[in-house]
Structures are given as structure tokens and as C-alpha cells.
Chains A and B, each alone.
Chain A
Amino acid sequence: MASEVILPKVDMDMATGKISKWFFSEGDTVRKGDVLFEIETDKAAMEIDAPADGILRDVKGGEGVDIPVGAAVAWIYGEGEAYTGAASPAPAALEAAPAPAAASPKAPSATVSAPGAQDGAVRATPLARRLARDNGIDLSGLAGSGPHGRVVAIDVTSAMTTAPVPVAVASTGPAAAAIPDAVRAPNDALKHFAEGSYELQPHSSMRRTIARRLVEAKSTVPHFYLTVDCRLDALMKLRAELNASAPIADGIASYKLSVNDMVIKAYALALAATPEANVSWTEEQLVRHRFVDIGVAVSVPGGLITPIVRQAQAKSLSAISNEMKDLAARAKAGRLKPEEYQGGTAAVSNLGMFGVRQFAAIINPPHATILAVGAGERRPVVDDTGELAVATVMSVTLSTDHRAVDGALGAELVGKLRAFIENPMSMLV
């Protein structure tokens, strides 16, 4: 029998959604778990899976059009099932025979829309009840996380966001193949732990996206790593001088550069000077970028996001600094627009503020490189005259996609980066 494909609610504030891309078209054969289409919200792009095997029919949700949440955007007909033509099957026929649970996106565990059928018996807060009623969630299907198992608002909102998202696991490539069944994996892991010795936290959509992308990146991109030590004293001195001379307007300095801002600029300039490394690998061709767009990893509650400083090679330090402040603040508030964190040509991840000396980061495709920045710390060094001295030294590790950038090229890039950091005045000219 045919399965309805609806536009799911992937974000609490969402009344309508836009399909940014269909991966299949009318008449294609799809398998359950294939990524059917991508929804774009203000926070993230979400991939939505096919709820069943079959032939895609009646594709109605056009790309870029606002569609109400819950509306049917296509139907999947079983192999050999009669397709009666463009008219949608009568809804009544569908509802008379409820699909096997997994077949319909409308009936995953927690979502049946008969409002308030058994709500009276469920312990739930007033707000949870209202949210459930407004969004067609059956409270009796939810495990309450409040006192005495009471269902609280967060239980309902997480059911709203997680229920229609069997997205994370299924995707193309080895990542998907390695984990055939989303449900079995955690259960297998759980048998190693005594009951009651843990609690289960549902994955947020951000966590799922991070997991999927990193598994994909680490298992498909051949990484290699180059570590260099950079003398930081000159950069620290310049930073102090620049900050001290920042124009004051309304009692507030017009900029306050961080070391990270300067590393972003240095890396952008190094990439601009090594254009062969400012690239993206695709199966068809190498993409050589004209501009350096640097993604900067920002830790946010429950995960991380990499807002992008566009054309960082051409921006002044103060512009980069102020832009980063704004991006980081909005990232933490969950207010970034997709175009502010999607794409980029390379990335910088800095854990120096946590005292990390050195680490290697995972490349975030379509980037070909990511620079992992450690702490600037006082270390003994042998200076030019062969004497032992103390200097502020920062170790950085460049992770490189070997498909696109070879060792010698990576070494050239990281060498230029070091030159900019150790002679920071060269960044100003």
C-alpha cells in the first residue's frame, strides 16, 4: 500500500518549511532510509529519509516553496502496486488500514494525532499538555523526565524534533553501511552496563548531524597531519599594541583582537599565498577557490558549529575580530542563518584556551584543511645563537585531505602560516 511522505516538523518554531533539495524525482525507485529531500530551517538543513521502499509518486512539494508542516509532499507506492494516476489516494483508504508502524512517518512511536485520547491518565504539566495538543503528539507515548515521571515540555518538544527524524544514520557511503539499524546499535551497547547505572539522553538533531558528518569525514577523507611550533612573542606584542591603540567610541574600544582572530587572518593569508591548497575535492574535479572563507569552530550548548568568516584574506584584523564576536554570539544563541555556517574553504579550531598543547582536528568537507590551534605557552627554545631561551610557543596541527593536497604542499602552507604568525607585521601590509 502507498505511504504518505509528509513535511515533518524539525524545529519547534516551525509552522511551514521549505524543501531545499529533492534527491529523487517522480517515478524513481527509493528504498526505506534513502535521503529523499532536505529541509532548510534557520538553524540547520535536515535530511529526511524515505519512510518505505517503493516508487516515488505525486511529488508535490516543490523546491523553495513554503509548505505547511504535516502536508503530504509525495507518496511512495509499493513495487507492483497499482498507481491510479496523479490524483492522491483517498485519505480514508489510508486511515482505515493503519500502516505497519515503521512504514508511515505519521506513526513513529510518539506521534498519533488523536488529541487528548488518553491524556487524562498521563501525568504532564499544563504546558506539556498544550504543546502535545497543538502538535498532535500523544502524551501516553512519552516517557516523562520530570519529577515522578511527569511529562514536561522538553519531553514533548524533543518528541516533536526526534520523532520524524530517522535521518541521521542513513546516508550514502560507508558510514551508512557500517550502521545498518539505528535502533539496534544502542541496545547492543546497553547490555554492557548495569541497569540503573546510566540514563539515556535522546540525541538532538544537532548531535545527529555532527555524528553523521564526522563519521563520514573521518572514514572517507584520507587525513594526514603536519605539526609546527610557532613563536608567539611578536604576535602577542603586536596584539597588545593594536588593542591599546583601538579607537574608543562611546567609552568602548572599537575592537579587541584575540590571538584566535590573528590566527584566522594568518591562516587566510597563508592559504591565499598557497592557492593550490585552497581547494575542495569532489569526485569529478578539484574545486579551486578564488577566496578564502574560513570556518571557525564555536562550541555551543550541546555541540559545535562553524560559522564562516568570508573572504578572510581581504579583511582587516579588526573586521575579522568584530565579525567573529557577532558570529560566535549568534551561534551560541542558535541564531545563525544557514549561509553563515554552510560551505567555507578551510577551517580553524582552537582549544588553546583550555590549555590543550596540541591536537588534530577532523576535516569538515568541503574543506580540504583544518588548522588545530593549541595553547600559547612559555617553553624553552634554542634561539638563533644556540642559547637556551624562554619563548611563548604555540603548536598548530594542520589536518589535510590527501586527495586534494599533498604533503609537500601542506608543508608549504603551514610554513607560510608560521611565517605570518612569527612576523605578524606582515599581516598588516
Chain B
Amino acid sequence: MSSAYDLIIVGSGPGGYVAAIRAAQLGLRTAIVEREHLGGVCLNWGCIPTKALLRSAEILDHANHARRYGLRIDGTVTAEISEVVARSRGVSQRLNGGVGFLMKKNGIDVIWGEARLAKPGEIVVSAPAKPPMQPQNPVPKSTLGAGTYTARHIVLATGARPRALPGIEPDGRLIWTYFEAMVPKALPKSLLVMGSGAIGIEFASFYRSMGVEVTVVEVMERIMPVEDAEISTLARKALEKRGLTILTSARVTKVEKGADSITATIETADGKGRTITADRMISAIGVQGNIEGLGLEALGIATERGCIVADGYGRTNVAGLYAIGDVAGPPMLAHKAEHEGVICVEKIAGLENVHALDKDRIPGCTYCDPQVASVGLTEAKAREQGRDVRIGRFSFAANGKAIALGEDNGLVKTVFDNRTGALIGAHMVGAEVTELLQGFVVAMNLETTEQELMHTVFPHPTLSEAMKESVLDAYGQAINA
């Protein structure tokens, strides 16, 4: 069977499905190939279901601290992990169904199976190795199956999967990846988390709230190593206060499996080393691109460090073949994938004024407690680039709303280019900062200087006032500090 499309997208994660919708809006005859679950890891096994878990954790924490707010709960508040998980899966399932609906609404053909590039402009889809993966709703009848499909343009949006450390490979039983960590059948008493990036820290935070003894091991000298050093230090203190054990400059060198526990040998900077025994372990040392089995080698598509090499418009070195999202390289974030997908499709459609993604303006959010959010250059990165910088800081401890909320542990740090006044970085830790950050992201994209930010009225009383104060502080004009 053969069918000529304008565009075929391989992978229906946040990059692929958004690109497909944009393509359909632009009048391109579009198909999307998926092998596991519409919506990809993000909404089935990643960003979204973890937010559902963390919401349960947050409410549990609030309940446990109700006395601080003058409230008394008679009896106890208990986490029923099976129900917490069930709620999270339900959230994913609802969004998964939503993606199916959006494909239908936009007239996008869904092809179910594994795609392989046969030649430029042609893919062969074979039946998937695995049945549709929970929470995928039953595959609709109108979905196309195995066969050969042709298109003028093919976008690879195959995403990424957890990276494994040789010798410490996840086994699904004692050593988990985020897949198993997302759906625990029971809570372990203790948990070792290897890796303190967004995934590791979010799960560490969740399990800690659920009452699990959690140890985080990070090979770099601080947790969340991509974040600004000050922010990561504050986050560490706050997490330790919540009872997490954090080991930095430490490396898991060996894991021995027991009947129902693991014992990890950990090499620490002081050379002493130690062993930790825990019921379960999460391997969260990063993800790697899904570049295998796509037929890239035969077509000579360039790859680098496990990802496809693509330019600012997603174009690979082979005409008519594009790559977006995680498989096109870091930062591996859903919103980066979405934006790359839109840019790629608009460029294919020949729209004018399409701009390559500016990777210095991609925000990043981590939903641990306290939350961490940032955009642009860290202070260290900016100085490394030889920039003359101005730094602003403002603590939640001097923000009225934060104090009223009982969430006065937080910091907003801003980085300005001293010569031009351009806002080049913003870094935050504290309650709700993942929702606050976007104010700075918009400001950066509009190329505002400190002047516009100072002239902007921020509503009172809000946490966002700390953002303005941080800007003022960079120029020595903070009011409440």
C-alpha cells in the first residue's frame, strides 16, 4: 500500500504531534507514525503523570503541616499509593485520548507501527513489537497499519529513552527507570536515586513526601548541575531540611542485588567511599536519543553523540529529512521539541519570517519541593563568556505574599549584561516559581532591558513582586531589602 503525503512525522510526542497539527493548519497532507502511545513519553510517562504524583505529594505535605496554618486534622492523612498512582494514570489517559481527538479533528492520518526510512521520501512501517502501551486508549479503527508510505518531507521526532550505566542496568524490579518509578505497586521503605537532574530530583522529592527514606547520589559537585550554583545550593538545603540525604561528587560504582533490596557501593570525593542499602533504586542519569532502527546509517544521516544532527530549522544533512525534539539533541525538553516542530513545519511550508530557535531562551522547570525554574545564562556561564554582568537577588523572605503563604524560602536571581542592560538570565527557587518564570521568558524574547522591567507594574501582593525586586536589586534600587 502506498500513499503520498506532504509530510510524515515519525513519533507523536509533544514535538511530533504539535508539528503535525501545525502542518495540518498550513494545509499540508500529514500523517504521524506512533508505536506505543499517542503523546509520547511526555504526557504518558513523563512530564504530566509526574506532576500528578507531585500534586498528591504537595497536598499530603500541606495536610501534614496543617497545624502551621491553625488547622487541626483529627485522625491521620495517609497516602494510598495505589490510588495516587491510579489518579496519575487517569490524568495521562485523559490527555492521551485528547491527542487522538486532535489528530482526528485536524485530519491527520495516524499510522500505527515502527517506521524505518527506506529512502528519502519513503518509510516502511511494520507492526509494532509491543502492544499499545498503557495508558494508550484502544487504537482507533481509522488508524493505518503496516505498509510503505511516501511523503515529500519526513520529520523524525522519535524522542529519547533512559540512559543506562553499564553494570547498573535497570531491571524493572529493584533498579527502576522513570517507567517503574511512576507506577510503584507499593512504597519502598528506602530509595536510592542516582542522578540529580530534573527526573531524579522530582522522584526523590515525591518519594520523600510519601515518607520514603531517600538518598540522592550526584556525580557532579552539586545537584541539578545545569542550574545556577546559588539556586542549586539553596534547593539542596531545602531538600535536606525535608529529610533527603544528598551525596554530591559521588559515584555509584557497583550495585549488588539482594532478594528485595540493593546495596550500592559509592565512591565519594574524600576517597572514603561507602555503601548504601536501599529497597529500590532509580537510575536517572539522563536520556539518550532514539536513533536506532530508523535506517539512518543507510541514508547517511549524520548523528553525533547519539542524536541526529539538525540545523536551526530541523534540517538534517539529507534533503527532505528533518529531526526535532529530543532525538535532535539537548536540551531534551518537551517545550523545546514543540517549538522546534513548529519552526520545522513552517519552514517546510515556506512561511516567511521563520526564526531558528534561540537555545539561550529555553526555560527549564523542575517540580520538586521547592520548585526550581530558570531561563538563559547562569551567572557562571555569563562570566565564562567574558560578559560584564550585573546580578540581582531577592529572597522570598522579604515578599509579603510568600510570607502569607508560609512559603518564605525562595530566591529570584537575575543576570543582566551590564553594558546593554539586556536580561540574559533568570533563576528561581521556591514555591510556584515554575509558573512565575514565564514573565522573564517573555521579557527576554521581547529583548527588554532593565528599564522596561522597572517600568512594569507588578500586581500586589504576589510572588511575582520578588521578580521585580530582583531586577531593582541588580541596579541597587531594591525597595524591600
User: Which single residue of chain B is at the shortest CB-CB distance from A127?
Assistant: B447
Confirm or deny: A153 has a beta carbon within 8 angstroms of a beta carbon on chain B: yes
B447–A128 touching, CB < 8 Å: yes
B249–A251 touching, CB < 8 Å: yes
Tell me the smallest distance from the CB of A124 to a CB of chain B, in Å. Answer: 9
Confirm or deny: A354 has a beta carbon within 8 angstroms of a beta carbon on chain B: yes
**In the complex, A65→B41 CA distance in Å?**
59
Dominant secondary structure at the B interface: loop
Tell me the smallest distance from the CB of B277 to a CB of chain A, in Å. Answer: 22
User: Which single residue of chain A is at the shortest CB-CB distance from B300?
Assistant: A355
A127–B448 touching, CB < 8 Å: yes
**In the complex, A259→B267 CA distance in Å?**
30
Mark contacts of B212-223 with chain A using CB atoms, 8 A cut-off: 1 yes-contact digit, 0 otherwise. Answer: 000000010000
Confirm or deny: A152 has a beta carbon within 8 angstroms of a beta carbon on chain B: yes
Neighbouring B residues of A354 by C-beta, 8 Å: 302
A13–B386 touching, CB < 8 Å: yes
Mark contacts of A168-197 with chain B using CB atoms, 8 A cut-off: 1 yes-contact digit, 0 otherwise. Answer: 000000000000000000000000000010
Known A-B contacts A13-B386, A251-B251, A333-B384; A127 and B421 likewise in contact (beta carbons under 8 Å): yes
B302–A126 touching, CB < 8 Å: no
Confirm or deny: A80 has a beta carbon within 8 angstroms of a beta carbon on chain B: no
User: Which single residue of chain A is at the shortest CB-CB distance from B221?
Assistant: A250
Known A-B contacts A131-B420, A250-B269, A251-B251; A125 and B446 likewise in contact (beta carbons under 8 Å): yes
Mark contacts of B16-41 with chain A using CB atoms, 8 A cut-off: 1 yes-contact digit, 0 otherwise. Answer: 00000000000000000000000000
Chain A positions 214-243 with a Cβ under 8 Å from a chain B Cβ? none
Confirm or deny: B142 has a beta carbon within 8 angstroms of a beta carbon on chain A: no
Tell me the smallest distance from the CB of A27 to a CB of chain B, in Å. Answer: 39
Neighbouring B residues of A290 by C-beta, 8 Å: none
Neighbouring A residues of B260 by C-beta, 8 Å: none
Tell me the smallest distance from the CB of A298 to a CB of chain B, in Å. Answer: 14
Mark contacts of A337-376 with chain B using CB atoms, 8 A cut-off: 1 yes-contact digit, 0 otherwise. Answer: 0000000000000000111000000000000000000000
User: Which single residue of chain B is at the shortest CB-CB distance from A251?
Assistant: B251
Neighbouring A residues of B302 by C-beta, 8 Å: 354-355
**In the complex, A146→B445 CA distance in Å?**
10
Tell me the smallest distance from the CB of A122 to a CB of chain B, in Å. Answer: 14
B251–A153 touching, CB < 8 Å: no
Neighbouring A residues of B3 by C-beta, 8 Å: none
B449–A126 touching, CB < 8 Å: yes
Confirm or deny: B76 has a beta carbon within 8 angstroms of a beta carbon on chain A: no
Q: Quick one: which of B384, B419, B447 contacts A126, CB cutoff 8 A?
A: B447
Tell me the smallest distance from the CB of A330 to a CB of chain B, in Å. Answer: 10
User: Which single residue of chain A is at the shortest CB-CB distance from B302?
Assistant: A354
Known A-B contacts A354-B302, A355-B300; A127 and B249 likewise in contact (beta carbons under 8 Å): no
B269–A147 touching, CB < 8 Å: no
Neighbouring B residues of A131 by C-beta, 8 Å: 420
Tell me the smallest distance from the CB of B67 to a CB of chain A, in Å. Answer: 44
Mark contacts of B379-411 with chain A using CB atoms, 8 A cut-off: 1 yes-contact digit, 0 otherwise. Answer: 000001110000000000000000000000000
Neighbouring B residues of A251 by C-beta, 8 Å: 219, 249, 251, 267, 269
Tell me the smallest distance from the CB of B146 to a CB of chain A, in Å. Answer: 30
Tell me the smallest distance from the CB of B177 to a CB of chain A, in Å. Answer: 24
27 A-B residue contacts at CB 8 Å? A13-B386, A125-B446, A126-B446, A126-B447, A126-B451, A127-B421, A127-B447, A127-B448, A127-B449, A128-B447, A130-B420, A130-B421, A130-B449, A131-B420, A134-B420, A146-B355, A147-B353, A148-B353, A196-B352, A251-B219, A251-B249, A251-B251, A251-B267, A251-B269, A333-B385, A335-B386, A354-B302
* Nearest 9 Cβ contacts at the A-B interface: A125-B447, A127-B447, A127-B422, A126-B449, A126-B452, A126-B448, A153-B447, A127-B449, A354-B302
Q: A126-B446, A126-B447, A126-B449 are in contact. List 10 more A-B contacts (CB 8 A).
A: A13-B419, A125-B446, A125-B448, A127-B421, A131-B420, A134-B420, A148-B353, A153-B420, A153-B447, A251-B267
- Tell me the B residues contacting A by CB distance below 8 Å: 219, 249, 251, 267, 269, 300, 302, 304, 352-353, 355, 384-386, 419-422, 446-449, 451-452
- Tell me the A residues contacting B by CB distance below 8 Å: 13, 125-128, 130-131, 134, 145-148, 152-153, 196, 250-251, 333, 335, 353-355
